[in-house]
Structure 1
């Protein structure tokens, strides 16, 4: 169990996951297994952290609706403390996920997540004197409306002496805001997580170790996630560490990166060496892809 609380800042949504039985038949019907439940990069990571025994608080926003109340209740049952602000007039966010065995496509309405504001973050930081680390979902930075909250989260964490990490979130919105802008927002974080597509957007088409070294100008440590090819840890002050992925049958990749982040953080904050931290992250990622849904099984 990690000593000290982790604050996770970012999206809490409803996932509508459709795991397709075959290729999408555009304009016609495609059979699928469909599941409704809690989602959102930050909320998923918080749930996986709680499942590892890490004290964790989610800082987020929902609408004043049944969906928002259900999403918060799910997390509380999973052991997550919720510093979630309710915003009337905005619906709780929803994502439709079209998943195949190896990929997922997300159709997103962020809803009340866009209303997350700096005072929400400051209140959560003030209410968690036992916090030692803040993890920020990149989605909070990638939309102009929620960006001030994301920037305040990183600044407020540093003011209180917390370590910080950011998950880059998604390649398409990263392209829209541009690599230079995003890297300026995350400059100085202790750990930046990127998948292969995000690394290419931010650092260009190099090998993962070279991408990590390029990105280490902005963050002290970089983890490049390569899916079935494993992951690479690049530290400014140490050799590169590469760990292969576990081989498992893939059912649904939704939330795999969030589980990976939780495993990585729980191990790293416990003082684990990079190879051990990547191994624990890979174990949780493998567990996540082996079944439908983005959260740990209750």
Structure 2
């Protein structure tokens, strides 16, 4: 079983479902409201655990009711929370508007996540036991850099989701094995709007890049090889919140199991496609049996040839 440590955020998602997102200064009437445990770190942890990984979480929750529920959600999702800190004050929150097309707009308030500025000794020891370390940018940058450097020193593969997008320090890039931006984050990091060009530019700093392309699938690029686009299944999206985190969590499991990159991306793409057909982030994430069934229905890797994974 793939051992995965997630160093990342936990947030309570406060989700309003609306026909369309309001413009600046405009008020619209929503059709429903939900509170759903989330945060990019917790989402990736739950996704990886449901996909079959052995997952541990490093981060923080507050002493409020949200913190209790966030920890319980991770525990219920078979994520080890022994090193998930509880700090005085509010937990992180994400204020999300989801429109009828499944699109979303998000405002994150860090709360307890902002207190995780460095690793504890126990955190370092835990990272050393992992096959992969998953990182995002909803914790202070100092601890993300420290986590990546620790993983590199201990020989653990690092997977970084550069979201929310911001300039990445050279020391973080130097300790990153696989960078997984979406196409907007890739453009923000490089100034290039073409995903292929952006991926190639990012290869100057990291050895492997996966650019997620939403409904179009994902693009994989590695040094010394031609970029490959792996299409996504065609589905009707209900809520895309957490789809990228579902993809990364499932991708980490697939890579840890030694699947070739195109197959791993196809498997993760199916997990993300299943998630967008349901409301919520962590609540929408598929279990391994669902992913495997859908993957088998597409023919798996036996029928995956040049017609399905396009070199670009």
**Does the aligned pair in 2 maintain the 1:233–1:241 contact within 8 Å?**
yes
TM-score under structure 2 length normalisation: 0.85
1:232 to 189, 214, 219: 219
Aligned twin of 2:159: 165
Structure 1 vs Structure 2 CA RMSD: 1.8
CA gap of 1:27–1:128, structure 2 versus 1, over 3 A, is: closer
Deviations 1:129-167 (A, max 9, x none): 531211111222xxxxx2221111111111211111100
Aligned twin of 2:237: 250
1:31-46 matches, within 5 Å, as 31-46=30-45
1:1-298 matches, within 5 Å, as 1-2=1-2, 5-24=3-22, 27-82=26-81, 83-88=83-88, 90-100=89-99, 101-120=101-120, 122-127=121-126, 130-140=129-139, 146-171=140-165, 174=166, 178=167, 181-182=168-169, 184-295=171-282, 296=285
CA gap of 1:214–1:23, structure 2 versus 1, over 3 A, is: closer
**Does the aligned pair in 2 maintain the 1:19–1:252 contact within 8 Å?**
no
- CA deviation after TM superposition for structure 1 residue 107, in Å: 1.7
Q: C-alpha separation between the residues in 2 aligned to 1:234 and 1:29?
A: 42
- CA deviation after TM superposition for structure 1 residue 49, in Å: 0.5
Q: C-alpha separation between the residues in 2 aligned to 1:235 and 1:67?
A: 40
- CA deviation after TM superposition for structure 1 residue 128, in Å: 5.7
Q: C-alpha separation between the residues in 2 aligned to 1:24 and 1:117?
A: 35
**Does the aligned pair in 1 maintain the 2:275–2:286 contact within 8 Å?**
no
- CA deviation after TM superposition for structure 1 residue 248, in Å: 0.7
Q: Secondary structure at the match of 1:284?
A: helix
Aligned twin of 1:143: none
Deviations 1:70-97 (A, max 9, x none): 1001110110001211111x31011110
The total of aligned residue pairs comes to 282
Q: C-alpha separation between the residues in 2 aligned to 1:69 and 1:213?
A: 43
**Does the aligned pair in 1 maintain the 2:128–2:151 contact within 8 Å?**
no
Q: C-alpha separation between the residues in 2 aligned to 1:27 and 1:213?
A: 40
CA gap of 1:128–1:247, structure 2 versus 1, over 3 A, is: same
Q: C-alpha separation between the residues in 2 aligned to 1:206 and 1:96?
A: 28
Q: C-alpha separation between the residues in 1 aligned to 2:286 and 2:52?
A: 14
Aligned twin of 2:306: none
Gaps of 5+ in 1: 141-145
- CA deviation after TM superposition for structure 1 residue 52, in Å: 1.2
TM-score under structure 1 length normalisation: 0.89
Gaps of 5+ in 2: 288-312
CA gap of 1:182–1:226, structure 2 versus 1, over 3 A, is: farther
Q: Secondary structure at the match of 2:6?
A: strand
